[in-house]
Structure 1
Amino acid sequence: MTGATTSPGRLIVGRETRPKLPPYLKLRHDAGRGRWVLLAPERVLTPDQTAVAVLQLCDGTRTVEEISAKLAEEYSAPVDVITADVLDLLQGLADKGYVKA
C-alpha cells in the first residue's frame, strides 16, 4: 500500500507510504541566503533543517519506515520517536498538497 485515502485527493500518510514531492515543487539550496527553500507555484517556503532532512529522502521509492530508520541511524535517536515526527510532518505537508505518494 503506498498511501490510503479517505476522501478524494486526501493522502493519509502511513508507515508504508512512499512519499515524494509533486513535479510542481522543487527543494533547492539558496546559496545566497545559505538556506534551503521549497519552491512552489507563486510561493517560496523555508523548511527547517528537520523538514529538509526528511524531504531530501522523499524520492517515491523509500517508505516512511525506511526514511525514519535512516534518520534514526544518522541522528542516533529512537526510531519510534523519529517515525512519529516524520509521520506528523509528512501528513501536514500532504494535507497542503506539498507531498504525494
Structure 2
Amino acid sequence: MAAHVRLTFSRTRQRKVLLHPETVVVLNGSGAAILELCDGRHTVTEIVAELGARYETVPDVEVRQFLARLVARRWVELTDG
C-alpha cells in the first residue's frame, strides 16, 4: 500500500476501512482480504492464488480490476520486485 494509506479496523463501523488523508473507504470482506495481502511481499498472482485457496471461487479479473482502481487512485503501489 502507499505510504499515505492505512488499512485498519473501524470499531464504529465494525469493518475494515482504508484511511487516506481526508477519506475513509469502508471495505467489504473481499476488498479487505485483498488489501490485507498487499504487504509488499505478495505479487498480484500470489494474492489471487491465496484468495483462491481461502475461498471457492475468486475471479482473477475482478481482483486485478480492484487493484487497478486502487493503483489509479494512488492508494496501492506496484513494484517490479
TM-score normalised by L of structure 1 = 0.72
Tell me which stretches of 4 or more aligned residues in structure 1 moved more than 6 Å.
Answer: none
| Larger RCO, structure (CA 8 Å, separation 6 or more) | 1
Residue type at the aligned position of 1:41 = P
Partner of 2:18: 38
Cα distance between partner residues in 2 of 1:33 and 1:93: 21
Match of 1:85 among 62, 66, 79: 62
Partner of 1:50: 30
Aligned residues: 78
Match runs of 1:1-101 below 5 Å: 21-77=1-57, 82-101=59-78
Structure 2: which 5+ runs fail to align?
A: none
| Percentage identity across paired residues of the two chains | 35
3-state SS of the aligned residue for 1:22? coil
CA drift at 1:82: 2.7
Residue deviations 1:48-93, cap 9 Å, x none? Answer: 211111000001111111110110110022xxx5321111100011
Q: Larger C-alpha radius of gyration, 1 or 2?
A: 1
The answer to whether the 8 Å contact 1:30/1:36 transfers is yes
Structure 1: which 5+ runs fail to align?
A: 1-20
RMSD: 1.2
CA drift at 1:32: 2.7
TM-score normalised by L of structure 2 = 0.88
